[in-house]
Every structure is written in structure tokens, then in C-alpha cells.
Structure 1
Amino acid sequence: MNNKTVQEGKTYAVVAYLTIIGVLIAYFMNQEKKNNFTAFHVRQSLGLWLLYFIFGYVVSGFDDWTISYSFWIVFALLFIYGIFGAFSGKANSVPILGDVFQKLFKSMG
């Protein structure tokens, strides 16, 4: 990706991480111009949000604050990692599952 592509897609890439609605906004706004940088971060954030909801459902069954806090801290760090990557113009995959998200959602973008 060249610098122009990154600069044009940076705003929507950051928006994609903010909420699940942000993923939808970034996805539909990216359909007009087809920016590869934005598409990369939309796939990453969609994977994170889906994983967040699935694990959140499982973690909610436990009545232990250490499990809940660990869940919140891990996902907060993953989202912060993604936001900083998008903001700095880097296409770094989220640790451990980032490449899986790219393959799983490759038809998006």
C-alpha cells in the first residue's frame, strides 16, 4: 500500500475499531472507493468485535471478577493495538488471530 492509500483510508480505519456500528459505517463507506488499508482494518475490527461478543457471552457465565477483568483488559489492549496501528498508518495484524481474521473475511473489501 502506498502512502496516499493509507492517508485516504486512515479515518475509516480508526472508526472501524470504535464500535460495532463503526465497523458497519467503515465497511459501507469503503464500498465507494475500495481502499485496501480501510478494508484491512475493517476485517481486523470485525473479527475482534465478533470474538468479543462470543467470549463475552461465555465469560458472563462465570461469577468471578478475575475472569471478567482479564477479559476486559485483553480486549481493551487488542482494540488499542488496532486503533494505534490504524492511526499510525500501519497494517499490522492483531496478535494471534489477525491473520485468521484476514483469511476469514477476505471477501470483505
Structure 2
Amino acid sequence: MNENIIKDGKKLACVSYLPVFGTLIAYFLNADIKNPFTNFHIRQALGIWIFYFICAISVSNIDSAMLRICLWVFFGTLLAYGFVMAFTGKYQTVPIIGPLFQKWFSNIGK
């Protein structure tokens, strides 16, 4: 990928990993620009957040502090990993579930 595309999209790609509103802000600010690097990371961040909410709703029915802490650590790690990849300018999906997010949200940015 062109180095200028990565450089131009790096800020919004990093913003997309901020709490849910960051993903929405990055999506709408990138709507006219359509930077492929930013779109890649918006798909990753959106997938992580949706997956987090699904898991959080499921875990909320179980009264286990240890399970909730594991959930927070797991998703915190995924968000940190995605943020670092965006910050360093790499097209690296988050482990295990990242390729699914790219497939499921492939229409974002088109």
C-alpha cells in the first residue's frame, strides 16, 4: 500500500479504536475521503466493539466478577493491539476474529 495513504489515514485509524464514539467519528470523517487504511481499521474497531457488546450482554446474566474482568482484559488487549497496529501504520488484523470483521463489514468504505 502507498505510504502516503497510510500517513493520511493514520490519525482517523487511531481515533476509530477510542470508545464507540471514536469509531463513529472516524467513519463519518472518512466518508468523503475513503482512505483504505482508515476503512480497514474502522472495520476492525467496529467488529471489536460489536463483539464486546454481545459478550458483555451475555456475561451480565452471570454473576461472576472474574468472568467480567477476563472480558475487560480480553477486549482491552484487542483494542490496544488494534490501536498499536494503526499507530504504526500496519494492515494487521486482530488475532482470531479480525479476518471475520474484514469479511462481515467489507461494504464499509465503498
CA distance in 2, matches of 1:59, 1:91: 31
Give RMSD over aligned pairs.
0.6
Give the fraction of aligned pairs with identical amino acids, expressed as a percent: 46
Find the counterpart in structure 1 of residue 83 from structure 2.
83
Find the counterpart in structure 1 of residue 5 from structure 2.
5
**What is the Cα deviation at residue 20 of structure 1?**
1.0
Length, aligned pairs only: 109
CA distance in 2, matches of 1:54, 1:64: 17
Within 5 Å, give how 1:1-109 maps onto structure 2.
1-109=1-109
CA distance in 2, matches of 1:107, 1:9: 18
User: Any idea what SS the aligned residue of 2:63 has?
Assistant: coil
**What is the Cα deviation at residue 63 of structure 1?**
0.9
How does the TM-score come out when normalised to structure 1?
Answer: 0.97
Higher helix fraction (1 or 2)? 1
5+ residue gaps, structure 1: none
Structure 1, residues 45-93: CA drift from partner, whole Å, max 9, x if none?
A: 0000000101001111111111111111100000000000000001100
**What is the Cα deviation at residue 103 of structure 1?**
0.5
5+ residue gaps, structure 2: none
CA distance in 2, matches of 1:64, 1:50: 21
Misfit runs of 4+, over 6 Å: none
